[in-house]
Chain A
Amino acid sequence: MTLRAILTFSVAAVLVSACATKPEPIQETTPVATVQPEVFEAAPPPPPPTVAAQPQRPAFVPPTPGSLQDFVYQSGGDARVYFGYDQNALTNEARDVLRRQANWLNNYSNVTAVIEGNADERGTREYNLALAARRANSVKAFLVSQGVAPSRLTTVSYGKERPIEGGSDEFSWSRNRNGHTNVNIQNTIG
């Protein structure tokens, strides 16, 4: 509708200005009014320096069965499995981790999980969204093949938006290419 209004042209008179050397006339136009922007909010002060999170260590005492800590512990210390560059195929190591995850999920059959797919920064945004979606699906499909009901597992792709390492090096990239089994546990004990 607005566009149509925009296309409404009206005729303007061509103004001929008299002067000694007779330059070409200036063309008349109709009024133009304001485009009033919203005020852009002032930049906030710089954030305080972030302290690197301490790596999570397996507890000496086994975690409470059925807790999130227990899931991570039973998975082998990490709820993520890692992929090769531009790959969504599961490595043997990833399959071992996922077998343990499936085992845990089969023991706690009321727990649901979101499988998050992630990619490293070396790909374009949209391609990486598609690639990470494939990774999440690889994880889900394997867990389902191990007996986890598909209705308990949803997937989401974060592309390269949620790196766990900030570096631009092989180590960081290898960590950022992952599928993360994020179990939904309402009441963790201890």
Chain B
Amino acid sequence: MTSYVSRKFLSMLIWLGVMMLSAGGAAAQLTIDITKGNLEPLPIAVPDFLAEDARVAEIGAQVAQIVRADLERSGLFNPLDPASFIETQTNIDYEPNFSEWRVIKAEALVSGRIIRESDTRLRVEFRLWDIFGEKQLAGLRFATTPDNIRRISHKAADAIYEALTGETGYFDSRIVFIDEKGPKTNRKKRLTIMDQDGANPQYLLTGSDIVLTPRFSPNSQKITFMSYENTVPQIYLLDIETGRRELLGNFPGMTFAPRFAPDGRSFLLSMVQRGNSDIYLMDLESRSTSRLTSDPAIDVSASFSPDGKNIVFNSDRGGSPQLYTMKSDGSGVKRITFGTGRYSAPVWSPRGDLIAFTKSEGGTFSIGVIKPDGSGERQLTNGFLVEGPTWSPNGRVILFSKESRGRNGSSEVWSVDLTGRNLRKVNTPGKASDPAWSPLLP
């Protein structure tokens, strides 16, 4: 578990912003337009970070490897093979030999070094160079302890991503999901968390009760989920740091589909009464609830817009499951999907511009996005059973569950970016479902 002290230290990490060099600003800047669909990944060279001795050199190699892996997984970068590098820099305070990096077709170069200040303190520094523009795009220094090197590496990758795309990165983040074991007819499910790249997986609960649909609080420190540990399945709140777990509310019927409000002070849930599911809003401090829907149809899977003003949810009040929006007080209900398929599991993007959803039509499931006004529906990926999208902190990548057909079917977590490109299996320790992506870590 994360200790409070370490988190506090981490929290004091300073970002003065990535320093942009361009003096005039008019010159062509090395940038990646991540909204384009058929993009060539940007060739980038990330040599092992320089070090004074062999022990630190190991860390320098690890940092570069983590940065390369993050950038590569985004699909926007093509980290070049270090074996192809011509120049070997010995001091990152000097300009690189741009022409030698141009020979191997690198368009950007990350040159970094690790300095051991004491047994417990390292300095990680790097400069990001535009090879064709022959200028520095960013220069950053982090102070850290050796065992926190993975997070610093992710922060470095985020800074590079931001300098080259103009968008906030998402590498210093975590994923909570359900670890699955056993056949379909006897699945064991455990609440699990790991770094965004699959490192540091850890179980969060010890019990054997079914747990489902975990979701992060806006500060990434708490997780709400549904569990069958009581006779009536209910939703719970878990503090990741302290391990403290509490039942959220004492409802007469099953509660499920929890999701935090953007301010973290309240959350949405669905409750079943006499077989019918409706959506409620609960204040976390006062524990008072207000009912937002009262339709005899299924109303479930509510998700707030990032400004907290609107809610998207799933209802079959029109005869089949479709997506609806309403104001945060439950008024102004509007249907936004009218296709022939069955829509469910909507999640509002952290950018606010899109809603991701699951659709099933003609025996196939797909993950898609749609604008909050119901226009611009797009399919990103499909499969026998794909469901439950969750957004990256910057709203550019979506994770989802993918279950394969049949008795030996297995569940996996996959990712796809907003353009529908870069479909990848996420590196979970075993079978996995119900992923939820954290915001960027504090």
Contact = CB atoms under 8 A, between A and B. Distances in A.
B254 A8 contact: no
Nearest to A53: B185
Contact of B254 (A15, A39, A138, A156): A156
A155 interface: yes
Interface string B7-40: 1111111111001010000000000000000000
A33 B13 CA distance: 10
Nearest to A43: B430
Interface string A30-50: 111111111111010001001
Contacts of B94: 19-21, 23
A165 B94 CA distance: 66
A33 B145 contact: yes
Interface stretch (A76-84, A95-103, A128-136): A128-136
Nearest to B182: A47
A107 B371 CA distance: 57
A124 interface: yes
Contacts of B185: 163-166
B277 A130 contact: yes
B212 A19 contact: no
B328 to A, nearest CB: 20
A124 B345 contact: yes
Contacts of B270: 126, 130
Contact of A126 (B186, B201, B213, B409): B213
B355 interface: no
B90 interface: no
Q: Is the interface of A mostly helix, strand, loop or mixed?
A: loop
Given A39-B202, A137-B274, A29 B142 contact: yes
A10 B14 contact: yes
A40 B186 CA distance: 22
Interface residues of B, number: 91
Contact of A125 (B186, B213, B342, B406): B213
A6 B442 CA distance: 6
A158 B187 CA distance: 13
Contacts of B388: 124-125
Scoring A9, A32, A40, A134 by chain B CB atoms within 10 A of each residue's CB, the highest score goes to A32
Nearest to B358: A124
B19 A27 contact: yes
A167 B407 contact: yes
A5 interface: yes
A52 B277 CA distance: 35
Interface string A1-16: 0110111111110110
Contacts of A125: 212-213, 345, 387-388, 434
Nearest to B17: A27
B148 interface: yes
B345 A38 contact: no
Given A2-B241, A27-B141, A167-B407, A37 B202 contact: yes
A86 B342 CA distance: 11
Contacts of A130: 256, 270, 272, 277, 298, 300
A27 B155 CA distance: 14
Nearest to A127: B344
Given A35-B10, A41-B203, A136 B136 contact: no
B337 interface: no
30 contacts: A6-B7, A11-B14, A17-B93, A24-B127, A29-B14, A29-B15, A29-B141, A31-B12, A32-B143, A33-B148, A35-B7, A36-B6, A40-B203, A40-B429, A88-B275, A122-B360, A122-B385, A124-B301, A124-B387, A125-B345, A129-B212, A133-B254, A134-B275, A137-B275, A156-B231, A157-B272, A161-B187, A167-B406, A168-B406, A168-B409
Interface of B: 1-16, 19, 21, 91, 93-95, 121, 125, 127, 136, 138-145, 147-148, 151-152, 182-187, 189, 200-203, 210, 212-213, 219, 221, 231-233, 241, 254, 256-257, 270, 272, 274-277, 298, 300-301, 314, 320-321, 342, 344-345, 358, 360, 384-385, 387-388, 403, 405-407, 409, 429-430, 434, 442
Given A6-B219, A29-B13, A47-B182, 17 more contacts: A5-B8, A20-B95, A26-B127, A27-B139, A31-B9, A32-B145, A32-B148, A33-B6, A34-B147, A50-B186, A86-B320, A122-B385, A124-B314, A127-B314, A130-B277, A163-B184, A168-B409
The 4 closest A-B pairs by CB, nearest first: A137-B275, A6-B11, A33-B9, A130-B277
